[in-house]
Chains A and B, each alone.
Chain A
Amino acid sequence: MGRGIQWGAAAAAGVLGLAVAGGALAAGADLGDAEQQATNWEAIIMFLVFVGATMGITYWAAKRTKSAADFYSAGGGITGFQNGVAIAGDYMSAASFLGISGLVFLYGYDGLIFSMGFLVGWPVILFLIAERLRNLGKYTFADVACYRLQQKPTRSLAATGGLATVIFYLIAQMVGSGKLIQLLFGLPYWIAVVIIGALMIMYVTFGGMLATTWVQIIKAVLLLSGATFMALAVLYLVGFSFESLFQTAVDVSEGVRATDIMAPGGLIQSPIDAISVGLALMFGTAGLPHILMRFFTVKDAAQARKSVFYATGFIGYFYILTFIIGFGAIVLLSPSGLENLGLNAANFLVNADENPTALIGGNNMAAIHLSNAVGGSLFLGFISAVAFATILAVVSGLTLAGASAISHDLYATVLRKGQATEAEEIRVSRIATISLGIIAIILGIAFENQNVAFMVMLAFTIAASCNFPVLLVSMYWSKMTTRGAVLGGYLGLAVAVVLMIFSGSIWTDVMGLENPPFPYASPALFSMIAAFGGIWLFSLMDGSEAARREHKLFEEQYVRSQTGIGAHQASVH
């Protein structure tokens, strides 16, 4: 097994995990401990302005959040454009922004390969599931997966897959964000984690989906503006010539970077690894509960489609920006690059003589240092505040999705068999939000010094091999039965978790053992086959009376998914 595959695995887990912030991006140079910086007042003041504004929105949203529909889906009153921006916001996490620009800084072209993997899932979501999801569901993706199946077992499965995805993703975000904020703001780690947890509890508990959506929209606009400014500043400094940008980057990297920054490096060498990571990225997106939930916030299927169109546009634009930012960082964070462009020398490196690519604070700081290089301390403060806001918005969306799985799927449907009143369900959803927030804070602190890079890859893999197959097959195949869905779904989940433990990112990086038995970065290829195969096999073997009933119900489900007749209506205020 070549070195390339190993770092491919590490990089995959690293970018996906909001490794980003902490000592976890295994692909990168040694990050060491995120040392605490001097208190950054510009950043803190700008962040406080953001918190003030979003608290105002939460207050406004709280007055409008009365029913369960308001809490889970903002009453279905979000427009396609707004939802598109919010989806883009959910997706443009600090991991994407800092992780991918850091990866480009270190390896050049390879960073772009990841961006593309994250993006190409979107068209497929649009073509295959977006409108059916809107036509069939109410609040959670489990509504759709269980449409004609037995509620209790299928809901439990969907809620398990959904919660597992949310919790792994959430821990990775909490740990990464604590370290990032420690670094950017000079706050102690635990205070950073508590601030994030407390703010997210406030947004979600009081403002529900409406506040969560607007927090996400504001942050997306801030992040896109900041990244646009940075990319333009880079292009301005090179005279708006890509040739000059790339040429200077190549000159600066000569003898400094091991791989050719203008070509695919060692990122993906084994075709199986390539396909498996590709599947996890592409179809994991289509199984993320906090993303799927967004499709219920719009009025109808037409708006759902529009949201994906806008989201894909913004996300694609954002990844092109991160590519320019990454190359800008190669040039502008290097003494010789600055000299080459006739700019004043500034130091962003730990030790320029020893390792000219080791950035202060680790290579995930590339975009942050670049903001300082092109815009001074005021812009550095702005980008730091935006990074904080990004984390906050993403964890809020995750928590809302997790709380909905608990209150809507587990409590109202499984436990109370649909007999809970709306008031009871809302109360449980708020309790679930607060509990999840507290759990996230505790786990965030508990995992401070653990390597959590694998967790987002695990979340994506579970989403691709449990949530997505059950959802997709339930929409398309009339012969799927409860038994098939449940056994196939749990099989996919189990294979994903077990193989992940045997892969390098847990076996070696967490447990410290040699020679991981499973040599690939993501088990998605195998766990997805297990899930789809299991659903198919156990459905066909299911000769029960219930199975026959479920086959018959497909017809009605199919017509509704196609025409929207009977779809859950928006409750307009």
Chain B
Amino acid sequence: MKPDILIKIEQNPKYQQLVKSRTRFAMILSLIMIAVYFAFILLVAFAPGVLGTPIGDSVITVGIPVGIFIILFAFALTGVYVARANTEFDRLTRQIVEETK
């Protein structure tokens, strides 16, 4: 990349907006995923009884829906990110590339 093009991109407000919003979005989603998973792991380590509590009269315990939920949640989070990145962020990126030419 030539230095003048580099400066042009960096000074483009759309580029600044892209970097800012995408970095923020990615960080928030990562932290949510890490927090959910490690909260679960620490619950397993410190209070396994909580996950072993039966739901009502059923033999099924709290841990089972929680485990299935975390798997589905991880999938849903990737969907949320891809939905925004492949539309909003990619649109911004295309505009930046166009304006740089």
Instruction: State whether these chains interact.
Output: yes
Whether A263 pairs with B74 at a CB distance below 8 angstroms is no
Report the count of interface residues on A (CB-CB < 8 A). 56
- Measured between alpha carbons, how far is A312 from B72 in the docked complex, in Å? 9
Q: Is A270 an interface residue (CB 8 A)?
A: yes
Residues of A close to B6: CB separation below 8 A = 555-556, 559
| Complex Cα–Cα for A213 and B9 (A) | 36
> B57-83: which residues lie under 8 A (CB-CB) from chain A?
58-61, 63-64, 67-68, 70-72, 74-75, 77-79, 81-82
Interface residues of A in 285-343 (CB under 8 A from B): 301-302, 305-306, 308-309, 312-313, 316, 319-320, 323
- Which chain A residues lie closer than 8 Å to B45 at the CB level? 268-271, 273-274
Q: Is the CB of B1 within 8 A of A560?
A: yes
Knowing A123-B33, A260-B52 touch, does A268 contact B74 (C-beta < 8 A)? Answer: no
Q: Which of A67-75, A111-119, A185-193 contacts B (4 or more CB under 8 A)?
A: A111-119
Q: Are A271 and B10 in contact (CB under 8 A)?
A: no
Encoded as 1 (CB less than 8 Å from any A CB) or 0, chain B from 33 to 64 comes to 11011101110111011011010001111011
Residue among B44, B63, B72, B100 with the most chain A CB within 10 A?
B44
A267 to chain B, nearest CB (A): 7
Determine the distance from Cα of A150 to Cα of B4 in the docked complex, in whole angstroms: 25
The reply to whether B86 and A120 contact each other, CB–CB distance below 8 Å, is no
A112-B67, A559-B10 are known contacts. Are A120 and B33 too (CB-CB below 8 A)? yes
**A109 engages B29 (CB within 8 Å):** no
Chain B residues within 8 Å of A484, by CB: none
- Knowing A316-B72, A316-B75 touch, does A264 contact B48 (C-beta < 8 A)? yes
Question: Which residues B73-101 have CB closer than 8 A to chain A?
Answer: 74-75, 77-79, 81-82, 85-86, 90, 93, 96-97, 100
Stretch at the interface among A239-247, A394-402, A453-461: A239-247
A562 x B75 contact (CB < 8 A): no
A122 at the interface (CB under 8 A from B): yes
A516 at the B interface (CB under 8 A): no
Using A122-B78, A126-B81, A263-B49 as known contacts, say yes or no to A275 and B71 having CB atoms under 8 A apart.
no
Task: Kindly state the separation between the CA atoms of A120 and B72 in the bound complex, as whole angstroms.
Answer: 10
B97 and A565 contact, CB distance less than 8 A: yes
Q: List 25 A-B contacts (CB under 8 A).
A: A109-B51, A109-B63, A113-B67, A115-B67, A116-B67, A120-B74, A123-B81, A126-B78, A263-B51, A263-B61, A264-B51, A268-B41, A271-B46, A273-B45, A282-B34, A305-B81, A312-B74, A316-B72, A320-B68, A555-B10, A556-B1, A559-B6, A559-B9, A562-B18, A565-B100
Closest CB-CB distance, B90 to chain A, in whole Å?
6
Tell me the chain A residues, 84-134 only, with Cβ under 8 Å from chain B.
109, 112-113, 115-117, 119-120, 122-124, 126-128, 131
Given the complex, which residues of B lie within 8 Å of A113, measured CB to CB?
Answer: 41, 44, 67
Q: Please tell me if the beta carbons of B52 and A302 are within 8 angstroms of each other in the complex.
A: no
Chain B residues near A533 (CB, 8 Å)? none
A566 at the interface (CB under 8 A from B): yes
Q: Which chain A residues have a beta carbon within 8 Å of chain B's beta carbons? A: 109, 112-113, 115-117, 119-120, 122-124, 126-128, 131, 242-243, 246-247, 250, 260, 262-265, 267-271, 273-275, 278, 282, 301-302, 305-306, 308-309, 312-313, 316, 319-320, 323, 555-556, 559-560, 562-566
Bound together, the chains give a CA A97 to CA B3 distance in angstroms of 51
A275 to B19, CA, bound (A): 31
Taking a contact as CB atoms under 8 Å apart, the answer to whether B26 and A246 are in contact is no
Q: How far is the CB of B98 from chain A (nearest CB, A)?
A: 11
B1 near A559 with CB under 8 A, answer yes
Pick from A112, A124, A246, A260: contact of B34, CB below 8 A: A124
Chain B nearest CB from A208 CB (Å) reads 28
Check if A131 sits within 8 Å of B75, measured CB to CB. no
Distance to closest chain B CB from A374 (angstroms): 22
Q: Which of chain A's residues has its CB closest to B5's CB?
A: A565
A555 to B30, CA, bound (A): 24
- In the complex formed, the residue of A with least CB distance to B51 is A264
In the complex, residue of chain B having the shortest beta-carbon distance to the beta carbon of A311: B78
- Tell which of A115, A264, A301 has the most Cβ of chain B within 10 Å: A264
